[in-house]
Structure formats: C-alpha cells, structure tokens
A and B are shown apart, each in its own frame.
Chain A
C-alpha cells in the first residue's frame, strides 16, 4: 500500500474513534434534537444565545427521535426535542422519554388547548390544515373536510401519503369528532375521490393543481406563504385559492409544532429557559415571519402575508386528544389502504 493511502486509512480510522457529537455536560449549554429545519430554528437559537450566553447544540433529524431517546435511555445528552407536529409529541409521550415542566411563563403563554395534560409538551406555533382549490376549475368559497368524500369531487382530489403525520393528525381529529365508524366511511369516500395515488409532499399537490391533474388538495397553511415567496413556486401558489375548511361549523383543524423536555435532561434549568424564550413575543414573531405560521401566544400578530389570508375559526379540540387517537388513525389508513 502506498504511503498516501495508508495515511488516508489512518485518518479514517482515527475519525471513527472521535464520535461523540455532543458533550453531555458543560458549563452553560443546552442540547436540542430538532425535527424542525435548520433555516427556521437556527436564527431563533442564535438570538437566544446572544441574550443569555447559553450555547445551544442542535442536531437535526428527519425521523426516529423517540426511538433514539429510548435507546439512549438515561445516558441521552438531549435536553429538548423540537417537533413539527402533534404526532411526534405523542410518539415521545408513548415512548415515556419526557418529563413534565412546571413553569408559570409557559402556562401564561400557551393556551390549555395546546399543552399536554401533564405539562410534558407545549405547542409553539399553529398551522391550519387547509384546502387549496383551483382558481380556474372550482367555484368553491366554503368547504368542509366532510365535503371531500362527496361524489362531486370524484377524481379531483390530490393529497400526500395518508401515513404522513399532517394527515394522520387531521384524521385523528375526525375520529374525535365523528367516531371511528363514520370516519372510516369518510376516509373510504375520500380515497374514492383521489385523482392519483397519494405521492409527493404538500407543495407537490398544489403543483399538480396548477398542472391540471386535480382541482383541490389538502395542505398546511404556511406552504402558501413559502410558495408565494419562492420564485420557482409562485406560479403554483397563484393557481389556487386558500380555503379554511369548516368555517360554518367547528372550524379548521389546527396542528402545532412544539417543544418537550426529555426525562434525562442534563441541563434542565437552561433547557426550561430556552423553552420559555421560544414562547415569548420575539420568538413567536420570528416563527411567523420566517415560516408563515400562526403564533400561539395570545396577542402576537402573525406576519403581514399570513394576515392577508384573513381571520378564520379554529377547531377547539384539545390537541392531546388528536395525539391519543393517532394510532387509531394510522391503523385506519392501513385498513382502507388509503395509499394503495
């Protein structure tokens, strides 16, 4: 083996032994596992560090945080988990890797509806699951989730996989309101009306409406803002109207992104400081400006673009109930073979 290759091997081998990504305990720091993306979270964390001098180490993940915390057990370096939806918070709850937080600040900033019953997780931002409708081919001004199973929509609906957390949370809220049997019937009806097999993400459905593949789709509200501010996607967004469903009855289904404290948290005091910071006005405002979400702290205005979509009535269902029904919803999606 030539010398050069030998040194490459050596370097590679050395690097395997230096694998500790996070120092578990140091002076002033917090360790975060984040499901939320870097572009959104990093500015918030940087602001926190500049205000408090507490260093934040963060690792970004797409999946499997609960699984990992379970395996790391008491040795986990993680203090906080940032989630993108209620399903992940429920998963953490089911894995028994969280601990309750008693904080007056959190209780004052976050309404009951968006907290765990045992205070083990807290919502940080809200987003509605809305219906995007083609400007060209639909006349709808008001619509309900229930309407989507009606025969008039046959072959006209697009959605992402039924197994995706955003859809699961919506289906779980349907179970909470209508019971299992009726929801299953509705889900079968919705499947009947799909223009194509569920595929792609929420934005791809809007693109499909622009392309003429379908006329309406389900998607999160903030994607409208993201598409309108992206030069490659603005055409997609312009092809649709954003409609808040169920304005004549219970209101639109709202999902949350949230934060939770791990059971094994090595830097508990600093972690709670960061949790509180994220529920205060500055951070709440940043969330809305950067990602077009709705602040959860009462009295904080969303960004101008979000305001322009108008006021809407929200479903009052406490989110922990949608969380508890998550597994039922997943199994129902299996049962009706929604993605098949």
Chain B
C-alpha cells in the first residue's frame, strides 16, 4: 500500500533556503539511514558471490529453471488478470453512473484488507474435494469418487493467479482511478462528438492516459506477488520465494538461498525501475489546469447491470466470501480459539507492529526533514536509496538481516572477550530486534513517502517566517511542522502497523524461538488443514486491514490539485 500514499515530492530545492549552518548533521543522518537500509541488500549479494559451499551448479541444473518458470508465469498471469480487474473497474467508476457506483467506488478497495495467503486458505477450504462446493455437486449428480467428474484443482498455478489477482487488483484500480479522475471533460466530449463508441474511446483515449498510472500499480502488484510465501507454499507452486525457503531450510544452505535471493533482487529492481520511471512520466502527462471536472455518463438498461455486476463480483469474491467464511468459522469455533494463546499471539503481533510503526514514523519524518533542511542531489538520492527496501521480498530481507547481525554479534563478542574478558553473548540475533530491522528496511518507504507529501504541503515561507523570528530548525520542527505533519504521519503509522501485522515471509524466518504471531500461527494451522481453528487470527488481520483501506480511499478522493 506504501506507494499509493507517497507521491514524489516536488523539488523543494527550487525554494531552497540558503544552507543553514545546521544542515550538515542532517545530511549525515540521511547517509547513515540509507546505509543501514541497504546493508541487507549488500549482504545478500555478498553471500551470493562468496558462498561457503557452492550449490549454484546443482540449483541451476535442477530446480532453478523451474523456480524461474513458475515465477514468470505467476507474475504474467497475475499481471494480466489484475490489470483486467483493476482497469475495468477504474474505468467504470470514473466515467459512468450505474446502480451502486458510489458504494463500489470505495468497496472495490476492500480486498486490499485480505492478505493473499488468507484468501488462498479460504478458497481451498471451500473448493477442495472434501469442501462444501464439491460435496454439494457430488450430492446433486450422484458422483462418488474423483474419477467420476472433473473439477479444477484450486491448488495450482492457475488457482494462485486468481487468488493474487482478487486481492491485488485494488493497486491498479486506485492508481488508474486517480489518473482518470484528473482528466478534464473536454477529451471525452471530443471523442464522443467525433462518434467514437465507448470501447474505441477506451482504447484510443483512456489507455494512453492511464498507461503510466497502470505501470505504477502493476509494478506494486508484481512486487507483492514476488514477495508472497504463504500462498505459493500452500499451493505447492514452486516460485523463487518457495525455492529460497527450501534451499535454506531443507538443504540448510544459506549461500544457495542467498543466490536465489540475489536473482530476486534483480527482478525487484527491474520492477522498481518500472514504477519510478512511470511515476515520473505520469507527472508530465497531466494536462495543465482542469477545465471542467468529469461528468460521468449515465448507463442504462443492460449495460448498467453489467457494470454493477462486474464491480459486485470483484467485491464479492475478493472480500465478502473470505470475510464471511472466516466470520462463520470464528463464531463456530469461538470456544476453541478464543483463549489465552490467542491473546498471547495478538500481543506479540501488536508489539511488533507498534514498535515498527513508532520507529519508522520517527525515522521517516527525520529523513524527509533532512531533505528540506539540507536539499542537495546527493541527499535526495540517499532518501531514494533508503526506501529501496519496499521492492524487496521479505524472504530476501530476512537473509540480508541474519547474515550481518550474526557477524556483528560475534565481532562485538570477540572485542569484549579480548579487552574485557567477558562475553556479551548475542545481542541482536534471534531476538525481535532482527525482525524489526527487516520490517524497517521493507516499510521505511511508507513513512518517508507520507512525511514527504506532508512536508510538501508546508510552504517554505512558513519556515522563513519562523526563521526571521529567530527559531532554529529544531524548534521549527517541534513548533511548526510536527503539529502540521501529525495527520499524514498517523496515516503512515497505521499503514505500517497493518503491513507488519500481515507480514509472513520475513517473520517466519526471523522470529525468535517460541515466538508466534497471528500470521505465523495462521500459516502453521492452515498448512495442517485446520483453518477453522485459526480463523479468528485471520479475521483479526483482515479486520485491521480495513482501516488503512478507508484512509487510502479518503486520501485518494480528497486530493485537491
């Protein structure tokens, strides 16, 4: 969700205040944060190139082509299907009036609240051979065994593509809807007055307009797809992420895992480039002043129903079905699941989410602030570097965190032994500090983006006024900016909080022994086909996920240009 909340700030250096004497520490601060944020990435690449045991030939001759192929087709399928869902729904909501449009305009975002692995567990439960759907069919038609009829396997590449598309299309819906809403009426009027039909208008006018926005949304969808571990491991789809786990935990080979991770870094960077480049473009595409806001066309008859049905089905399958199944199980098995263990899990999850959100809000705000106090090209690139983590899959970051922290712990311990004759033991490894580090690297972009857009709304003249009154930058920060920034930072905190709550891949690898969160607990139980016992945990994650959806919807519709 991060990117949606982070439009790139305008070049503040245009209004650059003259460099104040206290600019330097701010620059150092940016550089240090950027360094800490990219260490995991560098560590992965280092271990990949200098592994202790080279497993590359085995990987390359057996599983790697398979992992790559599965990853490629998964991303291709999800890209196409999510684009179809997202662009169509954005186009309908932006340009037409049909029954329920107002409701759908925000309800279409609800599937955002459902993590891909959760929706995968629910549909498997419903659609597998022993589930209610097939049982009913067997009853109706008198079938006895699986050999009597054909039913698609939900646990397959195709199944995974549908699952991801159902919960990820909102990225595309959101970016495209924003792009379409910004258009003036004149374009469409022109197109219509020249007698082009709706479809032709769509291809000739709408698609070119939304292409950059679509690329941004698509890049985010594909990043999330690459990041997922829960769904692909459950469906036995052998993607790179699944392979990374396998190499690490079955072959016990960190070097090999890091080599797979390095490949994933390559893919992630390509997606990041796609997103950044398109974002840049979408800025320059916008027509200057708006002449007249869009007036949506009223659909009538059959086409109105089709439009309503299309939007309804997305919300139905992407949110209503999973939420009701989880709700039903939670009530049904309430006595089994509502116990001290559940509280314990929830507390663990909340603890991690709170720490990460608090830390990132502070770091993100300071980093954005550094851009303002000490604007320079170098400082700007530091901020970009610091936020590269959101493109990186959680599993990749986990390896990148484990390796340097282990080295750090052992070197601190070595120094302590040499000089003070005591052992410091392990300070970071295997503690929640390691998990928080991975979360911070992954989600810093969210708080940074929010802080940047929040600061963008505070004009430099306010700063100058405060300066003339003799305030230092620190007191400007506390007296002027923080009060003004608090709203966008709260939004960032909530989004980070929820993202941490549902994060699975890094949490699984890095959590201390005997430390389960709602997400890891759900993963273990659902893998053992006991979804009903962990439905309460899933429902909790989904319910909290609705909060940022509401906020995002507000932010994206209330934008005044």
Contact = CB atoms under 8 A, between A and B. Distances in A.
Interface of A: 8-9, 12-13, 15-16, 19-21, 24, 33, 59-64, 66-68, 71-75, 77, 91, 94-95, 161, 163, 168, 195-201, 204, 207-208, 211-213, 327, 330-331, 334-335, 337, 339-340
B66 A340 contact: yes
Interface residues of B, number: 47
Given A15-B351, A16-B432, A199-B236, A68 B513 contact: yes
Contact of A212 (B146, B528, B529): B146
A12 B355 contact: yes
A60 B512 CA distance: 10
A73 B433 contact: no
B251 A327 contact: yes
B448 to A, nearest CB: 20
Contact of A71 (B66, B250, B406, B528): B406
B278 interface: no
B351 A94 contact: no
A30 B413 CA distance: 23
B145 interface: yes
16 contacts: A12-B354, A12-B355, A16-B355, A19-B432, A19-B512, A59-B514, A67-B252, A71-B406, A75-B409, A75-B426, A163-B246, A197-B236, A212-B129, A212-B145, A213-B146, A339-B238
B555 interface: no
Interface in B415-436: 423, 425-426, 429-433, 436
A340 B238 contact: yes
Contacts of B156: 197
Contact of A75 (B251, B252, B425, B528): B425
Contacts of A331: 58, 62
Nearest to A214: B146
B355 A211 contact: no
Contacts, number: 113
Contacts of A196: 153
Interface in B125-173: 129-130, 144-146, 153, 155-156
Nearest to A13: B355
B524 interface: yes
A123 to B, nearest CB: 21
A62 B524 contact: yes
A81 to B, nearest CB: 11
Nearest to A8: B354
A29 B465 CA distance: 66
A77 to B, nearest CB: 8
Given A12-B358, A200-B529, A33 B513 contact: yes
Contacts of B246: 163
B155 A197 contact: yes
A334 B58 contact: yes
Nearest to B423: A75
A162 to B, nearest CB: 10
Interface string B342-355: 00000000010011
Given A15-B351, A66-B252, A330-B251, 13 more contacts: A8-B354, A24-B425, A64-B248, A77-B425, A195-B146, A196-B153, A200-B527, A208-B129, A327-B251, A330-B250, A334-B63, A337-B66, A340-B66
